[in-house]
Amino acid sequence: MHSDFGSSPQQHTNKKMELLAPAGGYEALKAAVENGADAVYLGGKMFNARASASNFDSEELSKAVTYAHERGVKVYVTLNILVADSEFSELADYVYQLYSLGADALIVQDIGVANFIRKVLPEIRLHASTQMTQNNIYGLKQLEKMGFSRVVLARETSAPEIEKMVQATELDVEVFGHGALCISYSGQCLMSSYIGGRSGNRGRCAQPCRMAYSLVDGKGRDLLEGRKTGEHLLSPRDLKLLDNLGELQRMGVRSLKIEGRMKRPEYVATVIRVYRKALDFLQEQKGQEITARDLYELTQIFNRDFTTGYFQGYQGAEMMSFSRPNNRGTMLGRITDLKNNRLTLKLDRELGLGDGLEIWTKRGREGISVGRIGIPGGKTVDSAAPGDTVTIEFEGAANIGDRVFKTHDEQLIAQARLSFQEGKEMRKRPLKMQLSGKVGQKLRLTVWDDQQHVALESQCEAQEAQNRPLTQEVLVKQLGRLGNTPFYLGELTTALEGDLMIPVSALNELRRAAVEKLLEPSHSKPALTLNAYQERTYAWNQQLKTGRTVSGKTGAGKHLLSAAVTDSSMIAPLLKAGADRIILGGEHWRSRPPLTLAELQKALDTCQSRGRTLLWRLPRILNQTQCEQVLKDLTKVAGWSSRPVIMAGNLAEIEMLKTVDPEWTWETDYFLHCFNEAALEWVHRAGGRQAALSMELSQEQLAVLGKSEGIELLVFGDMEMMVSEFCLPGAVLGEGKDGARNKCGKACQNRDLYLKDRMAYHFPLATDQECRMHVFNAKTLNLVTELSKIADMGIRNIRLELLRASLPQAERAVTVFHQLWKETAGGKNIGKEETEEAMKSLEELYPDGFTRGHFYRGVLI
């Protein structure tokens, strides 16, 4: 259950790639195991990023772990959400429960949760969730230091990038191989959170990316009008790397992850069966190659059309499913005739009773469940083959020539269901047995497999056989009766001296006792007692309390206001307006020239000459190539006589900074999701002076964190909802065939672009020099009316995020907040009239309206 945390990079390529299956419920777990998964990942009823799946209660978790382990399958449990301080007591109990049940690893997103588990339970392995947004070597190095044993890479990594990371890390590398794709970098999407309070970081994503949108300009004109692009502009196709398994194996990827905890068990059964077959043929040269039937079943069970995602490089529009966000099934044929409530079509593939069909008409989709199949001559059949002409009852609206898709294959579903039918489990471990002994002694049965080894003696002594000795045939028959156990007899050898016999009942008892011994590890007690664990947890909590005010101080008693900008020409006016700190940099926006080191030096001089602080904000997302450029810039700036404070938006940037100079002052951006005291403790212990708090915290949660020093809260400005490697403007407006990078004609420049949803909200789009797309909330965050409450919490540092603001807008915001924040710092209670006047002043220059974000409503739990 508990083993070492890593392996040398050279060892990766010597291991077979693990097939990791999703399990949203117990039936799906059985489907995964029975169809060949090496490991499963699943969630309990708490703390997991698929809160809408069935998931597992305590009893089901125990049953699931036992079932899997008895069949040699590992179980990884998801704890991959952000966890509030009020939940840590429950989390602590849950973590020990998972450990005591024998979970093989915990999958974690929250740096605070990882910090807590590594301190109180180093005996259990940690996997870094894809929600941690890891896509470069420096981030992986930081994860190693944090005690992780595996990383689930961001889906945006390409094959060459994956290979470099595998070679450079001691972590096991896990890669998504099949299933749904998120359009945003996982862990960096707040779209569902901001729009409806359903946070993906809390397991409640409502998938707004699968909804319909139009792309409009600043005047509201639909830029795709008249084109047949489709309206699901943020909906990717499904990932399929079935043809790339050999390359992944060669690279040394340790685990191939199949997405689908929200999918039905039959989906899990079908996908795992096909990938198991492909991996067996690749790794062991056994079985058969993937057939056309396998590919059909993989496609039929669920697809939005398929893509290799970013694995083979950027694909632009070729990666997207603009026309529909859900299962498209497989093409069945076109309507050739339509009359008397019957449609006729010539089949491209087989059709059976109970199948579900969908007709793609000009006005939308029409669904049918096949209850009767007619053939020429007026006869009816239960099934029809490709090439047959059939008639189907249909009362909807359609036209001759319309395409018909099969979205449900009843026979395939039934076949999949049989594979995990209760009482007919086929997944078993082969046992080797040896029986030895002689007359007058108890017989010794030794039993072993790849995992365990047991040896037992018979209850009675062997006697010389008079007429029925223990032959190989008799022994195979009796010792091979393993029935409903998770074993089968693979090999039996004997070392018997002479013709021996013992009662059949004694042989049966030997077999039963051996099986019980082999299964004991699935029910063994944990090495760490509950009392010892509780003592560690108590010590951790005491350390957290005493460390609240020790590190990360930014000046006791001072109330500071930071202004984040990307245009260095704004710095002097904003300092004059009252900004105490300037945050400069971040993404290299296409709307303005990139920040040069010369400009950074000038900005630093400007701030220092006025006694203010400059923070150099590093980009939110960096791939390996971009990391190397940032590292070069950091190395150059490190040689300056005075340097800016660094604001890091990810773990990689912390690692790079420490590589250049461990003493360089740094803070963390809100993208790193400091959601609890444990996360703050990690930042401060790692050397961070200050941490910007998560944007998803409510006032009750902020009140807890307000007790800590070294924190900053964003109170006004642009709310970035999503960052995506996919660039919509380039894909649909670009000059290149598929919107490929460098061939898009810079379709994003020189105009304002927005996503317009069905409620007529306009979400601003921006692109950066790396061709990533950023989506902002339709409304601006504004907590000007809450400043007194924020100050009362103990929070002393606030930030204005002015990335898209004009100079007049930025100056007004800084002036208003500076005045009220300084009054609050002086102990003045800001009245209703003052806040209303402040709000009115801001409304004049921000006509699109304001939101208080999650300050009052929080996120749904």
Rounded to 5, what percent of the chain is helix, strand, coil? 35, 25, 40
pLDDT at 2 over 50: no
470 residue type, one letter: L
CATH architecture designation of domain 9-181+236-263: Alpha-Beta Barrel (3.20)
User: What's the chain's average pLDDT?
Assistant: 92
339-386 residue pLDDT tens: 888 999 999 999 999 999 999 988 888 899 999 999 998 899 999 999
Residue whose structure tokens are 């790794």: 283
Q: Is the model more confident about 572 or about 735?
A: 572
pLDDT band of 857, cuts 50, 70, 90: confident
Longest CA pairwise span in the chain (Å): 109
Measured between alpha carbons, how far is 187 from 330 in angstroms, rounded to an integer? Answer: 32
pLDDT band of 14, cuts 50, 70, 90: low
Question: What average pLDDT does range 85-111 have in this prediction?
Answer: 96
CATH class in words for 329-418: mainly beta
Which tokens hold the place of 657?
Answer: 């900074």
How much is the pLDDT for 48?
78
Q: Which residues contact 525 (CB under 8 A, 6 or more apart)?
A: 100
Question: What average pLDDT does range 589-605 have in this prediction?
Answer: 93
The answer to whether 680 and 710 have CB atoms below 8 angstroms apart is yes
Secondary element (H or E) of residue 344: strand 342-346
How much is the pLDDT for 552?
41
The answer to whether 402 and 334 have CB atoms below 8 angstroms apart is yes
Question: What average pLDDT does range 551-555 have in this prediction?
Answer: 43
**CATH 3.20.20.380 segments of the chain:** 9-181+236-263
pLDDT at 8 over 50: no
Report CA-CA distances (Å) from 191 to 319, 726, 765, 776.
Answer: 21, 16, 13, 9
395-436 residue pLDDT tens: 888 999 999 999 999 999 999 999 998 877 888 989 999 999
Measured between alpha carbons, how far is 150 from 482 in angstroms, rounded to an integer? Answer: 36
459-480 residue pLDDT tens: 999 999 888 899 999 999 999 9
pLDDT band of 7, cuts 50, 70, 90: very low
pLDDT at 6 over 60: no
Rg (Cα) of the chain, in Å, rounded? 31
pLDDT at 235 over 50: yes
Measured between alpha carbons, how far is 731 from 67 in angstroms, rounded to an integer? Answer: 47
Across the strands, what pairs with 773? 724, 767
**CATH 2.40.30.10 segments of the chain:** 329-418
pLDDT at 613 over 70: yes
pLDDT band of 1, cuts 50, 70, 90: very low
pLDDT at 232 over 70: yes
Question: What average pLDDT does range 169-178 have in this prediction?
Answer: 98
Pick from 100-104, 498-502, 643-647: least confident: 498-502
pLDDT at 814 over 90: yes
How much is the pLDDT for 12?
55
Q: What is the three-class DSSP state of 341? A: coil
How much is the pLDDT for 324?
86
Most confident option among 14-18, 492-496, 733-737: 492-496
Measured between alpha carbons, how far is 734 from 727 in angstroms, rounded to an integer? Answer: 10
pLDDT at 120 over 90: yes
pLDDT at 40 over 80: yes
Question: What average pLDDT does range 823-846 have in this prediction?
Answer: 90
pLDDT band of 763, cuts 50, 70, 90: very high
pLDDT at 507 over 50: yes
pLDDT at 45 over 90: no
pLDDT band of 736, cuts 50, 70, 90: low
Give every strand in the sheet of 720-724, ordered side by side.
Answer: 214-217, 753-756, 762-767, 773-776, 720-724
Question: What average pLDDT does range 328-339 have in this prediction?
Answer: 94
Homologous superfamily assigned to 558-721+775-847: Aldolase class I (3.20.20.70)
Measured between alpha carbons, how far is 667 from 684 in angstroms, rounded to an integer? Answer: 9
Q: Which residues contact 251 (CB under 8 A, 6 or more apart)?
A: 13, 159, 162, 163, 166
pLDDT at 515 over 90: yes
815-830 residue pLDDT tens: 999 999 999 887 888 8
Pick from 252-261, 331-340, 465-474: least confident: 465-474
> Which among 599, 576, 573 has a CA at the least distance from the CA of 584?
599
Question: What average pLDDT does range 743-751 have in this prediction?
Answer: 78
How much is the pLDDT for 450?
83
The answer to whether 270 and 301 have CB atoms below 8 angstroms apart is yes
How much is the pLDDT for 743?
67
Burial status of residue 856 (CB atoms within 10 A of its CB: 0-12, 13-18, 19 or more): exposed
**CATH 3.20.20.70 segments of the chain:** 558-721+775-847
656 residue type, one letter: M
> Which among 44, 39, 133 has a CA at the least distance from the CA of 772?
133
Cβ neighbour number for residue 537 with a 10 Å cutoff: 20
Pick from 13-22, 650-659, 704-713: least confident: 13-22
How much is the pLDDT for 13?
54
pLDDT at 648 over 90: yes
